[in-house]
Amino acid sequence: MPHAVSDPPSPAQDATMEDTATPTPAAAEAPEPETTGAPAPTEPTTDPSTATATEIETDTKTPEPSADAVKMELPSSPPGFGGDVIDVDEFGDLDDIDIDIDIEMSDSVAAAAASAPANMKMEDTSAAHTAAIVTIPAASSAAAASKEDAEIAAKIEGGAPNLEDLFDDDDDDLIQDLANTEFSTADVLSREASDPGVMRLFYQRLFPWRYLFQWLNHSPTPTNDFAHREFAFTLQNDAYLRYQSFSNSEMLRKDVLRLMPSRFEIGPVYTANPADRKLFSAAAFKPLAKELCFDIDLTDYDDIRTCCDKANICNRCWQFITMAIEVIDVALRDDFGFKHIVWVYSGRRGAHAWVCDKRARGLDDQKRKAIVGYLELLRGGSHGGKRVSLRRPLHPHILRSLNILKGHFQEDVLRDQDPWDTPERADKLLALLPDRQLQEALRKKWDAAPGRSSTLKWADIDAVAKTGSIKSLDMKGLLEAKQDIVLEYTYPRLDAGVSKKLNHLLKSPFVVHPGTGRVCVPIDVRKPEDFDPLAVPTVQRLLHEIDTYKPSDEDEADEAEETKDKEGDEEKKLQDWEKTSLRPFIELFRSFVLGLMRDEKDVKVKRERSEGMEF
């Protein structure tokens, strides 16, 4: 049962949260390989078309909130997977509403972006303005589109929407494009994941554009939640384009296919269209909302994982990410009442959490910082010293975390990592114990048995303590020290900078990691222990699966029979992603998006009814 947190800062360091404070956004970190931070928006002093790689955007830093500065009442919300798994069949009929607007970019703009120096940060894709040139459809086409949109809106208001058709990526124009595409399996498998040809095929055939649109738009009809959202592109030559914005998924898709970024990031929703930011003062153009995000990276565990280091991972050290997901997810749901949380694999060595509830999106920097403080536990650096020192009695969140983590400690840390296998590493364990006589007794025992495992060394602590030979030993203090050790070796290690700032950008789900070729797929939070990062499909594998797909089993035949076109009574073609191992991940994301949209719609209806009853 979620509750109002009266002392929401870290359980190890009490503080509070408040609704009233609205800090000035501080400058965020520069983009990093796994999670990209971006500076706070400022009015540039030079023309972006002549910008150099040395230009730096600055912003004022947010003052540290006092311990009594914030308090936030959080309503109840039942826990469950991201708003629960929704059966799309319950929604009835709804036509595809995505507006088809052609977007053009002049040859000079495209050339400027493609030829930009490596590592150059580009605010604009042209010398004059960031915005692409939008061609308005002819009046007859626009009228037809408006009529169609009105009919769809009427269906939604009628309460019988079928969101399945809404997410139909089987565009006629796209099919025609692909019909003329030369596709060679051998050629694709021999290319790098970042190859423009490979990326073009991925963006055309596999990327779930409309699911992404609906996730960020929170409605089946376009709103400013999407139109005023910032996107940032990292181009093949490492040029970085910020403040890109789009009215709908089709415009985003066409611009991505035009520029072919190696990846793109998602930023906040602003008070105005980011492309028009130069028309507004700094006070008028500011971030309004963004998902509350968390980043877990295995490089932060290098001091305790023994199997891998740096960018390398394996299934043994991935268990640290599993532990983090289990602890953070239950805290966000049970302690803060958040419901719509999606976890996404970063593509190499980490995971990102996106908290998508409306309350979470509207949090200012101070509240975000307070939530991070509540969840953070480890202090200090990774080079020596005790990093966990908790006051007793333990906070309920810490007690719950201990219960979650103690099994992982025995199996995933002691058995699989064997963190104290050498005398040097064993000395690190001894330094965390409270009594010097106990330390010396254990050191003597372990020196006599150099090959002793970490599991046995952990058991030796209690065995030696229970002999009664160490009169000065405080058994209660020893128990507390052991609890702190368990937490130091298992508790989540957050990249706090990703979570604290409203204007921080984060890599989009379903993009391809250029180093590994793996797709940034969602993780099923109901069973995070089953996720295998090394089995995540690569872009080359997915394109090969499309090329070699052959429907054979009866289930696929039955599904094709059930998806006959309503008007022509012809079988609806499977979308390309449905022919690949990406399918379960997109279906998981679709279920999450449907739950989020349903709750957003319910809130809107309740608000409109309440306003209608006012006299």
Q: Write out the DSSP string of 198-227.
A: HHHHHHHHT--HHHHHHHHH-SSS--HHHH
The pLDDT tens digits for 191-201 are 888 888 899 99
Q: What is the mean pLDDT of residues 248-266?
A: 96
Q: What is the mean pLDDT of residues 414-425?
A: 97
The whole-number pLDDT of residue 187 equals 72
Q: What are phi and psi of 280, to 5 degrees?
A: -120, 155
The whole-number pLDDT of residue 603 equals 73
- Statement: residue 331 has pLDDT above 60: yes
Which CATH architecture fits 79-277+284-374+495-550+570-612? Answer: Alpha-Beta Complex (3.90)
148-162, 261-275, 281-295: segment of lowest average pLDDT: 148-162
pTM here? 0.72
Active-site residue, from 57, 123, 169, 230: 230
Mean pLDDT across the chain: 76
Does 230 qualify as catalytic in the annotation? yes
Residue % of the chain over a pLDDT of 90:
58
116-130, 531-545, 557-571: segment of lowest average pLDDT: 116-130
92-96, 285-289, 516-520: segment of lowest average pLDDT: 92-96
- Statement: residue 559 has pLDDT above 50: yes
The whole-number pLDDT of residue 560 equals 55
Task: Reduce the DSSP state of residue 473 to 3 states and report it.
Answer: coil
- Segments of 366-516 assigned E as strands: 506-507
Confidence bin at 57 (pLDDT 50/70/90): very low
The whole-number pLDDT of residue 195 equals 87
The pLDDT tens digits for 485-508 are 999 999 999 999 999 999 999 999
Q: What is the 3 state secondary structure string of 549-595?
A: CCCCCHHHHHHHHHCECCCCCCECCCCHHHHCCCHHHHHHHHHHHHH
- Statement: residue 6 has pLDDT above 70: no
Q: What is the mean pLDDT of residues 157-179?
A: 42
Residue % of the chain over a pLDDT of 70:
64
Does 297 qualify as catalytic in the annotation? yes
310-314, 457-461, 547-551, 606-610: segment of lowest average pLDDT: 606-610
The whole-number pLDDT of residue 519 equals 98
Cβ contact 241:120 at 8 Å: no
Structure tokens at 409: 């400690």
- CA–CA gap between residue 307 and residue 30 (Å, rounded): 29
Q: What is the mean pLDDT of residues 458-468?
A: 94
Q: Burial of 76 by CB count in 10 Å (0-12 exposed, 13-18 middle, 19+ buried)?
A: exposed
- Statement: residue 56 has pLDDT above 90: no
Distance of CA 76 to the CA centre of its chain: 24
- Segments of 30-97 assigned E as strands: none
Active-site residue, from 250, 297, 357, 365: 297
Active-site residue, from 250, 255, 291, 295: 295
CATH 3.90.920.10 residue spans of the chain: 79-277+284-374+495-550+570-612
- Statement: residue 251 has pLDDT above 90: yes
Task: Reduce the DSSP state of residue 126 to 3 states and report it.
Answer: coil
- CA–CA gap between residue 339 and residue 324 (Å, rounded): 18
Does 168 qualify as catalytic in the annotation? no
The whole-number pLDDT of residue 181 equals 46
